[in-house]
Amino acid sequence: MRLITRIDGLPPHLRAGIRPEEAAYLARLKAQGILPFGVTPHFASLAGAEQGDPIRRQFFPSPKEADKDPAALSDPLGERAHQKAPRLIHQYRDRALIRASSRCAGYCRYCFRRIWTRPGRGFILPAEFPPILRYLGSRPEITEALISGGDPLTAPDAALDTLFRALRRARPDLRLRVCTRVPVTCPQRLSPGLIQLLKDHKPLRMAVHINHSRELSRETRDVLGACAGAGIPVLTQTVLLRGVNDDAETLARLFDACLAAGLSLYYLFQLDLAPGTGHFRVDLMEGLRLYEQLERGGAALPVYAVDLPGGGGKIRLCRDAIAGIQGGAYLLKGPGGRLYPYPAPPAGVLSASCGERVCSFSHNPEGCASAEFANVRAQRRKPLVGGLGELVPPNSSQRGAKRR
């Protein structure tokens, strides 16, 4: 799978729009071995030349990635604490995740596995299967294996078939979920042969990462339609990203386009706290306002969710999920009454009407009525830690946490 990794490989309209500071930062990425620049020709062809273009913004490195972010975590989902074997994560009772590849069909600038996702590791080898298969064989409560990475569909068909057959031999009853962005970034990869391979290993479903309606090109719609025609359910996952899809009209257009393409809306994720991604982060309360606006429209929606920082697991995001604010962070309610901090807007971002540091609508203060934040302000006056539960430091799972 060919990736464009140099400015001179970009389409002329994009190449002409690169600013000197962007070119300088790209050279720095190469020298330091940070998450590389890489984009498929197909995905690059969907982008406009402007810096703020929602497609370009997702793949072209920004100097803002170097900004200091005190909330950033090297392992934002706390996966190390749930690792049962190399490449195997078991965090939720009934499903496990296999990081089958470190390669992607392009490198998203908001990636939460940017430490793992590097070209060197490649696709999982048969010699790496035994500990994974033993663990899955000993845990009948695991009913689904998520094949993730990186992107597993960057591997050759033969390598995918070898992995799927090994999993089926160890656990014939196991459902497979292929987590991928390839149908969006490189739709030609889903050849009739690959679609037949996926069909042969049912029960199998595909979770496709889609952030903007422009990503649903004709080629992408065609291959996803072919998957659905082969009996492969296709779910969507979207990340809420500042400057990409952080307004109700853009999200509604995306979800409508997904439904029109026969896809099942699954998750809308709040951004994880990975290094170099703070400029993509949408304030939690702003995200809730957008989601509630969409709910009032009556359309079908994915679940709005967040992975609690440091390994607390997924929760649905709603106003009741926010226990209050402390130390510049929202406190999110997790399992067992624990509280997990997620960064609130920076100091000085205030609403003229509510007067509290919980509002990010500095561009339109009158749009933030006091009532909209009344619940958070009321919760803020409660005894947060002692009264509501144990406060979990965001990096607690990264300090040699006991694996289970």
Residue 297 lies inside a defined structural domain of this protein: yes
Q: Token pair for residue 50? A: 């402007």
- Do 116 and 30 belong together in one domain? no
Q: Sheet holding 322-326: strands in order across?
A: 322-326, 329-333, 339-343
Question: Is the residue at 394 inside a domain?
Answer: no
Q: Among residues 291, 314, 343, which one ends one of the domains?
A: 343
What pLDDT, on a 0 to 100 scale, did the predictor assign at position 10? Answer: 97
pLDDT for residue 367: 33
Average pLDDT, the chain: 87
Q: Which of 8-17, 188-197, 215-224, 370-379 has the lowest mean pLDDT?
A: 370-379
Within this chain, do residues 51 and 100 fall inside the same structural domain, yes or no?
no
User: What's residue 119's pLDDT?
Assistant: 55
Let me know whether 37 and 86 are in one domain.
no
pLDDT at 113: 83
Is 339 contained in some domain? yes
Mean pLDDT, rounded, for 181-196:
98
Residue type for position 254: L
Tell me what pLDDT residue 388 has: 52
State the greatest distance between any 2 C-alpha atoms of the chain, in Å, as a whole number: 62
User: What total of structural domains would you count in the chain?
Assistant: 2
Same domain, yes or no: 90 and 185: yes
The answer, yes or no, to whether residue 139 has pLDDT greater than 70, is yes
The residue type at 329: A
Per the DSSP assignment, residues forming a β-bridge with 206 are 178, 234
**H helical segments located in 98-177:** 129-137, 157-170
Residue 60 sits in the same domain as residue 83: no
CA distance 102 to 303: 27
Q: Look at residues 51, 49, 61 and name the one whose alpha carbon lies nearest to residue 24.
A: 61
Q: What residue type is assigned to position 27 of the chain?
A: A
Q: What pLDDT, on a 0 to 100 scale, did the predictor assign at position 356? A: 36
pLDDT at 341 over 60: yes
Quote the pLDDT of residue 137.
97
Nearest Cα to 120, choosing from 102, 106, 108? 102
- In the sheet with 88-92, reading across from the earlier edge strand, the strands are 83-85, 88-92, 95-99, 144-148, 175-180, 204-209, 234-239, 264-269, 303-308, 313-316
What digits encode the pLDDT tens for the residues 231-284? 999 999 999 999 999 999 999 999 999 999 999 999 999 999 999 999 999 999
Domain boundary among 316, 343, 370: 343
Cα(78)–Cα(401) distance, integer angstroms: 9
Range of the domain at 306: 79-343
Residues 48 and 146 in one domain: no
In a domain, 359, yes or no: no
Distances (CA, A) of 391 to 219, 248, 307, 325, 358: 47, 33, 16, 12, 19
**Residues 181 and 231 placed together within one structural domain of the fold:** yes
What tokens were used for 217?
A: 């090109």
Q: Residue 64: beta bridge partners?
A: none
Residue 396 in any domain: the answer is: no
Do 56 and 107 lie in one domain? The reply is no
Q: In this structure, is residue 322 part of a structural domain?
A: yes
Q: Can you tell me the mean pLDDT for 289-302?
A: 94
Segment 290-308 shows an average pLDDT of: 95
Res. 130: pLDDT tops 90 = yes
pLDDT above 50 (res 348): no
Q: Is the pLDDT of residue 85 over 50?
A: yes
Q: Are 384 and 331 in contact (CB under 8 A)?
A: yes
CATH number of the domain at 100, please: 3.20.20.70
* 258 and 158 fall within a common domain: yes
Residue 53 near residue 12, CB atoms below 8 Å:
no
Would you say residue 371 lies in a domain?
no
Last residue of a domain, one of 66, 94, 111: 66
pLDDT confidence of residue 32: 78
Q: Are residues 179 and 319 in the same domain?
A: yes
Range with the poorest average pLDDT among 111-120, 193-202, 206-215: 111-120
In a shared domain, residues 158 and 54 = no
225, burial (CB in 10 Å: exposed 0-12, middle 13-18, buried 19+): middle
Quote the tokens at residue 232.
Answer: 């492969």
Same domain, 126 and 45: no
380, part of any domain: no
